[in-house]
């Protein structure tokens, strides 16, 4: 049965950072399911290879490959881009999903190193990677870039303040780049998940009190799962998202409107 044209990514290549687990892996899986060749990338090669094996088994073809990279290392990101182009010829879609949050607590207690790491990995590294893939997209007059932000970028926090600052900056990065690259038919958007059951967010959902506070007032009254973010990433990469750019798409069970 052919895929609906609006969501068909057949013959296209997507690079997804932080995709050996959680939201990134769900996005890689669903993009592969919709026909794309996907590059699974995170720091640990064994984790990438395990995700690749899982995705390929699920979709029934060799859709995913592993190219590990450290987002904090500019040379490592360039190698990710170069190896992908060498393997597949081009990068049609980039999903900047990898992020860091080494500190949980009041803003006044964060160390300079922790603050710097958050800003580097969650903003600057996205900027680096985007500038590496965009020149070829501009030549082709086609491409999509999706940054995984967070509803934290829309709200105040007393426990993950620096992370929220970085995620707000990602939204502005998407707006700026959408304006800059739009004339070349390159779309840049953010997805802002609410609380999702991932290892990355465990400090928020593993604590029953925090989980209750985060979900009790939301219309859907529950935490999300990674696969509930993946569909939007597929939409934004496909023809269904062809007129969307510079936007932040909130997927949070209604928490921010409650």
Q: Residue 213 belongs to what H/E stretch?
A: helix 208-215
Tokens 């052919």 locate to 2
Query: How much is the pLDDT for 217?
Result: 87
User: Going by DSSP bridges, is the β-strand pair 143-148/186-193 parallel, antiparallel, or unpaired?
Assistant: parallel
- The overall pTM is greater than 0.85: yes
Say whether 18 sits in a helix, a strand or coil. coil
Query: How much is the pLDDT for 164?
Result: 98
Q: Would you write out the chain's pLDDT as a tens digit for each of its 258 residues?
A: 678 999 999 999 999 999 999 999 999 999 999 999 999 999 999 999 999 999 999 999 999 999 999 999 999 999 999 999 999 999 999 999 999 999 999 999 999 999 999 999 999 999 999 999 999 999 999 999 999 999 999 999 999 999 999 999 999 999 999 999 999 999 999 999 999 988 776 776 778 887 887 788 899 999 999 999 999 999 999 999 999 999 999 999 999 998
Gap between the Cα atoms of 28 and 20, Å rounded: 9
Domains of the chain: 5-250 (3.40.50.720)
Catalytic site positions: 163
Starting at the earlier edge strand, list the strands of the sheet with 186-193: 64-66, 37-41, 13-17, 93-96, 143-148, 186-193, 248-251
């Amino acid at each position: 049965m052919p895929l609906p044209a609006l969501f068909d990514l057949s013959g296209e290549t997507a690079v997804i950072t932080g995709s050996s687990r959680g939201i990134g892996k769900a996005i890689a899986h669903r993009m592969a399911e919709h026909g794309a060749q996907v590059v699974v990338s995170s720091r640990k090669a064994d984790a990438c290879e395990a995700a690749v094996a899982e995705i390929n088994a699920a979709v029934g073809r060799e859709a995913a490959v592993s190219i590990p990279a450290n987002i904090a290392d500019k040379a490592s990101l360039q190698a990710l881009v170069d190896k992908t182009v060498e393997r597949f010829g081009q990068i049609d879609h980039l999903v900047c999903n990898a992020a860091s949050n080494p500190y949980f607590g009041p803003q006044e207690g964060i160390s300079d190193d922790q603050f710097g790491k958050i800003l580097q990995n969650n903003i600057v590294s996205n900027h680096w990677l985007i500038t590496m893939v965009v020149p070829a997209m501009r030549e082709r007059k086609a491409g999509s870039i999706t940054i995984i932000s967070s509803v934290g970028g829309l709200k105040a926090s007393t426990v993950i303040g620096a992370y929220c600052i970085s995620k707000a900056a990602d939204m502005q990065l998407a707006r700026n780049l959408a304006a800059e690259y739009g004339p070349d038919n390159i779309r840049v958007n953010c997805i802002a998940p609410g609380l999702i059951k991932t290892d990355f967010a465990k400090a928020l959902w593993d604590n029953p009190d925090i989980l209750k506070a985060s979900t009790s007032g939301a219309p859907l009254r529950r935490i999300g799962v990674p696969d509930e973010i993946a569909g939007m990433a597929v939409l934004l990469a496909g023809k269904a998202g062809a007129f969307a750019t510079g936007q932040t798409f909130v997927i949070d069970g209604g928490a921010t409107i409650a």
